[in-house]
Structure 1
Amino acid sequence: MMDDNKALSTQQVADILHVSKSTIYDLIKKGEITSYKVGRKVRFTQEDIDNYIAKSRTLQKDHVVSDVILDTTQSHKNFIICGQDLILDVLSNYLRLNGIPALRAYIGSYDSLVSLYQGKVQVTAAHLWDSDTDQYNIPYVRRLLPGIPAVVIHLTCRMQGFYVAKGNPKNIRTWSDFVRDDVTMINREKGAGSRILLDENLRLLEISGTKINGYANETSSHLTVASAVSSGDADVAVGNEKIARQVDNIEFIPIKKERYQLIIKKEDLNTHEVSTMLKIIRSATFKKEFGNIGGYDTTDIGKIVAEI
């Protein structure tokens, strides 16, 4: 297990929750997340973060995600973007600057599509790999939005792979290494894109998760699983390359180039909010902002790749 007493900075917590530092300070001010001070610096424990996430998940059961109420009375008033990447936070900020009060819901790809189907959000991001077709997102959109015409818009490509200890002392190279007796993993929560990538590959290999050490040990972000590998609490985890660059004492083994895409209902394509959103992500300014950040490929950003 991870060390619950390990001090985490505001930036580390922001990375774990996929929000900006200003959002974390706002949560502190509202008393929604516990913290403490060392001198003038704000610090958190892993237990503080786990308690906040657990509280948020409890609220989700009552149709609340983060600070956004997801119900039919709110859906026509709010423009809600659902997903867990920094690029979505920046996008919502640009929308606000353009007069659209965009809100954010921080849940995984699978549950995001379900929320879109239920009319609780207007835009969702996903990176769900289907092993039968070797496609990202399109097969899941078809299954999880039955009877609803939808549009898939490319946002970015990211590299998914394995987080291992520096030097890769266990020589972990393939999915089949996860089942070795001397290997312990730490997992993402059900519905996360990384978790589905793992489970789909295990299915192809006919490997049951119950045979893998640590498979049942779940956590809610790329950063926390990478930190578990860094601290020696686990030997391997699945995540994206960008986070690997932020954590000491780990290496990244590239496995799969994934497509991170936006999904909207086709009926919303020509609304003012969606039209403005597309203009923003296709703009030179937006591309430049992410073109210089490692781990983001802005080629074809804003391109409609499928109408389902």
Structure 2
Amino acid sequence: MSSDISYTTEEIAKLLKISKLTVYDLIKKGELPSYRVGKQMRVDASDLEAYKQRAKTAAAPEPRAEAVQPPRSYPASSPSAGRPIVITGHDIGLDILAKHMESHVPGVRPLRSFVGSLDSLISMYRGESDIVSTHLLDGDSGEYNLPYIRALLVGSSYVVVNLLTRNAGFYVRKGNPFKLEQWSDLSLQGLRLVNREKGSGARVLLDEQLRLHGIRPERLNGYDHIQTNHLGVATKVASGEADVGVGIEKAASIVGQIDFVPLIRERYDLVMLKTPDNEAWIRSVLHILRSDAFKRELQAISGYDLTRTGEILFET
């Protein structure tokens, strides 16, 4: 029955051929009823169908993604609704940030979008997100994030602030039977890899290391064996379906039954566009990131270095 079916905002955007920003606006204005399941917004199929019928009756053409032009403004709304602030990325630190924003930043309503680092920056360029997280290594310079941010956000005014630093490396089977200790070991015969999706920070890290070490991706057994998050990669190694995957230390400790080989310290940063509409809540977010309460929650999670948390790394 259609009453048992619900859709995510991403699925609604694809079905209506509009941007996620437009979906959020429809939800905010009350034209598309929604509810939250965990950190995700969902819309019942019956409510989607009712919206489509109203749109047809009004003879109003459905908005298309290319009609959405950043920067954007939002009409006044009740304090309980608030302006939607879209936060992208997978790390649990972002969920903690969203919770603090919900409690301490009036007039905004944080919404989580679980997409990879490169896709997050592209969504910001398109005007579809407000706070994006990124951990993208530039292999030639050894620098994290800023080379990609400068290239993708050309002409934009933004601020880059550190959220945390964490270990990235190999997930390997217990006892590390292949004795994997460095990136060049990925060329060993018989090794089965499990990979991340294109656009994720872990996939960029792997591809950059393969390029730097002269290893052709097509030589790797399992290069096209894709998982969409760190836990998925770690689980495939734990189950014996793969011998190695690239990810962060935290996921290894959650999954267990595997070993972790640290290879690099990666900087996990946030990017926020600077516009007159955003200035007030950006100040509030910076205050949260630097607060003792926020850092205490992050410190409870093993594997995080908070030395630079809340530090502005670059500002246009």
TM-score category by the smaller chain? 0.7 to 0.9
Cα distance, 1:170 vs structure 2: 1.4
The alpha-carbon distance between structure 1 residues 282 and 31, as it changes in their structure 2 partners (threshold 3 A), is: farther
The normalised TM-score by structure 1 is 0.77
The alpha-carbon distance between structure 1 residues 105 and 68, as it changes in their structure 2 partners (threshold 3 A), is: farther
The one-letter code matched in structure 2 to 1:197 is L
* 1:179 equivalent in alignment to 2:176: no
Deviations along 1:233-254, one digit per CA (max 9) or x if unpaired, are 0000000001110112200000
Cα distance, 1:55 vs structure 2: 5.8
Residues 68 and 104 in structure 1, CA contact (< 8 A), matched pair in contact too: no
* 1:275 equivalent in alignment to 2:283: yes
* 1:91 equivalent in alignment to 2:100: no
Cα distance, 1:76 vs structure 2: 3.2
* 1:288 equivalent in alignment to 2:296: yes
The alpha-carbon distance between structure 1 residues 62 and 119, as it changes in their structure 2 partners (threshold 3 A), is: same
What residue ranges of structure 1 are gaps of 5+ in the alignment?
Answer: 1-28, 34-51
Secondary structure, counterpart of 2:186 in structure 1: helix
The one-letter code matched in structure 2 to 1:194 is A
Once the two structures are superposed, the pairs formed by residues 156-175 of structure 1 within 5 Å of their partners are 156-175=164-183
Residues of 2 paired with 1:306 and 1:175: CA distance?
A: 30
Residues of 1 paired with 2:16 and 2:119: CA distance?
A: 11
Q: Hey, what does 2:19 align to over in structure 1?
A: 63
The normalised TM-score by structure 2 is 0.76
Q: Hey, what does 1:305 align to over in structure 2?
A: 313
The alpha-carbon distance between structure 1 residues 304 and 240, as it changes in their structure 2 partners (threshold 3 A), is: same
The alpha-carbon distance between structure 1 residues 145 and 225, as it changes in their structure 2 partners (threshold 3 A), is: same
The one-letter code matched in structure 1 to 2:129 is V
Secondary structure, counterpart of 1:88 in structure 2: helix
Q: Hey, what does 1:80 align to over in structure 2?
A: 86
The alpha-carbon distance between structure 1 residues 207 and 241, as it changes in their structure 2 partners (threshold 3 A), is: same
The alpha-carbon distance between structure 1 residues 56 and 259, as it changes in their structure 2 partners (threshold 3 A), is: farther
Residues of 2 paired with 1:80 and 1:88: CA distance?
A: 11
Q: Hey, what does 1:261 align to over in structure 2?
A: 269
The one-letter code matched in structure 2 to 1:84 is H
CA root-mean-square deviation: 2.9
Once the two structures are superposed, the pairs formed by residues 127-276 of structure 1 within 5 Å of their partners are 127-267=135-275, 271-276=279-284
The one-letter code matched in structure 2 to 1:83 is G
Cα distance, 1:187 vs structure 2: 0.2
The alpha-carbon distance between structure 1 residues 276 and 170, as it changes in their structure 2 partners (threshold 3 A), is: same
Cα distance, 1:292 vs structure 2: 2.3
Residues of 2 paired with 1:229 and 1:210: CA distance?
A: 20
Q: Hey, what does 1:123 align to over in structure 2?
A: 131
Residues of 2 paired with 1:214 and 1:94: CA distance?
A: 40
Q: Hey, what does 2:47 align to over in structure 1?
A: none
The alpha-carbon distance between structure 1 residues 56 and 195, as it changes in their structure 2 partners (threshold 3 A), is: farther
Residues 163 and 309 in structure 2, CA contact (< 8 A), matched pair in contact too: yes
The alpha-carbon distance between structure 1 residues 186 and 157, as it changes in their structure 2 partners (threshold 3 A), is: same
The alpha-carbon distance between structure 1 residues 275 and 67, as it changes in their structure 2 partners (threshold 3 A), is: same
Residues 68 and 103 in structure 1, CA contact (< 8 A), matched pair in contact too: no
Secondary structure, counterpart of 1:141 in structure 2: helix
The alpha-carbon distance between structure 1 residues 73 and 307, as it changes in their structure 2 partners (threshold 3 A), is: closer
Aligned-pair identity (%): 39
Cα distance, 1:140 vs structure 2: 0.3
